[in-house]
Chains A and B, each alone.
Chain A
Amino acid sequence: MSTIKVVEGSEAVALAVKACRPQVISAYPISPQTHIVEHLAKMIADGELETEYVRVESEFSAASVISGSSAAASRSYTASSSQGLLLMTEVLYASAGLRLPFVITGVNRSLSAPISIQVDHQDAISLRDSGVIQFFVESSQEAYDTHIAAFKVAEDRRILLPVMVCMDGWILTHSYERVSFMEQEEVDSFLPAFRPVNYLDVKDPKTWGSYAEDDVLMEFKYAIQEAMQHGKVRIKEVFSELAGITGRDHGGLIEAYRTEGAEVILVAMGSMVGTVKDAVDELRSKGKRVGLVKIRCYRPFPYEDILDAIKGAKVAAVMEANFSMGSEGAVGMDLKAKLCGRTDSPLVIDFIAGLGGREVNKGTIGEIVQKAEEVLNSGVPLQESQWVGLNPTILA
């Protein structure tokens, strides 16, 4: 039994968080994330949610509060965007190292300068090395389901890492969508109470944040990588267990969409995936052999699953709303690194699309596929990222 309602994406997330019975929520406003913590505040004011709601004075504090509360054995949550996520950076690295399993919604927005409130993935991508697990979602329904899975993944005793659920600002957070909600009893049986291995206890004092020298620091970092590697297995199990309850299967670490027999496979994540699916359907109906790989879990990076989905194709066209200045897009970089030296893998072309909220429509996707086909026909690979829709007439 489930309830279906048309809700704002932010409310869907707030309802997911509420259903997970968080004991501590820290909140600091920043667009486009603010509606999530506002919805949670209203639930508390209306007596629907009992939790410690801490209004902090910065995102650094927002992350620090849930780092402390998570260490005190409380299921903890916060949300932020853009500069706010960057301000959390130091705390997120430390929390991953301390193995604190809180959940953050990373509502994607571009980074200054120039300042903009529009969506791209630069904020979350800048945290990819921190030890935080990162999921990207396509719809409000997927955002709802993924938040419920996120706490279970984070709190798994062989993982114990912060989890960030990344959702595109405005496009998902501020649009209304039909969302199916789980019953509270279903969430409770899927997600038991948080029972951490380590926790702050006055009766059994422990040292947190201890110093590590060159003889042990490497091993502590390797332990995080081991947890990430275990995550690749466990995340699939958790997603599949949840799908069994809800009847909604969004896929595992990736979703392969019409990849069978595809020559060109687009690789994308976030809300643009919905548009790509429509574009793929249209191109397929015109006889073009095009498919899509949607990355649901970006860290740990599921290269085995991606390789499996793209190995029959000739070109993998990575579409990404981020750029590593001086190099290329982060997802293209990850994929190329893992494909390097393999003889069974397609050519990878990196396309930068959608920075600062620039529209990615079916026309944009058509251009990308056309470019990929040109490369395929000419046989000349493209080393540099292709900035799709760049307007050369306004470049100074």
Chain B
Amino acid sequence: MIMRITLGSVVKGRSSLDYKTGGWRDQRPVIHEDLCKACGQCEMVCPDNAVHVVDKTYVIDYDYCKGCGLCAYECPTDAIEMVPEEK
């Protein structure tokens, strides 16, 4: 299908959830659950709201995590490790 340009480049509003920005990441945060005290610092500082609580443990949503490393930097127990993304 041919997508035609729109008047003034105005397009139907969509949600930023449609754009999976996790593809920009070059390092991924990995949580070591044995060290995690579930303090919630990582969830609080994540600029992309990509850290969630699921079944009382913290998980990272890699669809939106851009790998900025703030969570790892702020984690008081060094439970988050930044691992290079590899193909």
Residues in chain A within 8 A of chain B (CB atoms) = 97-100, 160, 197-198, 204-210, 212, 216, 219-220, 223
Contact = CB atoms under 8 A, between A and B. Distances in A.
A100 B9 CA distance: 12
B9 A98 contact: yes
Given A97-B8, A160-B7, 18 more contacts: A97-B9, A98-B9, A98-B10, A100-B8, A197-B7, A198-B8, A206-B10, A206-B12, A207-B10, A207-B11, A207-B12, A207-B13, A208-B8, A208-B10, A210-B9, A212-B9, A216-B5, A223-B5
B37 to A, nearest CB: 41
A160 B8 contact: yes
A99 B11 CA distance: 13
B56 interface: no
Contacts of B8: 97-100, 160, 198, 208
A160 B6 CA distance: 13
Range for the number of chain B residues in contact with chain A:
under 10
B87 interface: no
Interface in B1-43: 5, 7-14
The secondary structure that dominates the B interface is mixed
Interface of B: 5, 7-14
B14 to A, nearest CB: 7
Contacts of A198: 7-8, 10
Contacts of A210: 9-11
A252 B80 CA distance: 72
15 contacts: A97-B8, A97-B9, A98-B8, A99-B7, A100-B8, A198-B8, A206-B12, A207-B10, A208-B10, A209-B9, A210-B9, A210-B10, A220-B9, A223-B5, A223-B7
Which 10 A-B pairs give the minimum distances between C-beta atoms? A205-B13, A99-B8, A98-B8, A198-B10, A206-B13, A219-B5, A207-B11, A210-B9, A206-B10, A208-B10
Contacts of B5: 216, 219-220, 223
A89 to B, nearest CB: 19
Contacts of B7: 99, 160, 197-198, 223
A220 B7 CA distance: 8
Nearest to A98: B8
* Most A-side CB within 10 Å, residue of B8, B11, B13: B8
B11 A206 contact: yes
Nearest to A211: B9
A137 to B, nearest CB: 28
Nearest to B14: A207
Contacts of A219: 5
A210 B3 CA distance: 15
A209 to B, nearest CB: 7
A96 B74 CA distance: 46
Nearest to A201: B13
Contacts of A212: 9
Contacts of A220: 5, 9
A218 to B, nearest CB: 10
Contacts of A223: 5, 7
A231 to B, nearest CB: 15
Contacts of A100: 8
B44 to A, nearest CB: 29
A215 B7 CA distance: 16
A207 B12 CA distance: 6
Nearest to B5: A219
A209 B10 CA distance: 7
A209 B6 CA distance: 12
A99 B8 CA distance: 5
Nearest to B10: A198
A100 to B, nearest CB: 7
Contacts of A204: 13
A75 B7 CA distance: 18
Contacts of A197: 7
A206 B6 CA distance: 12
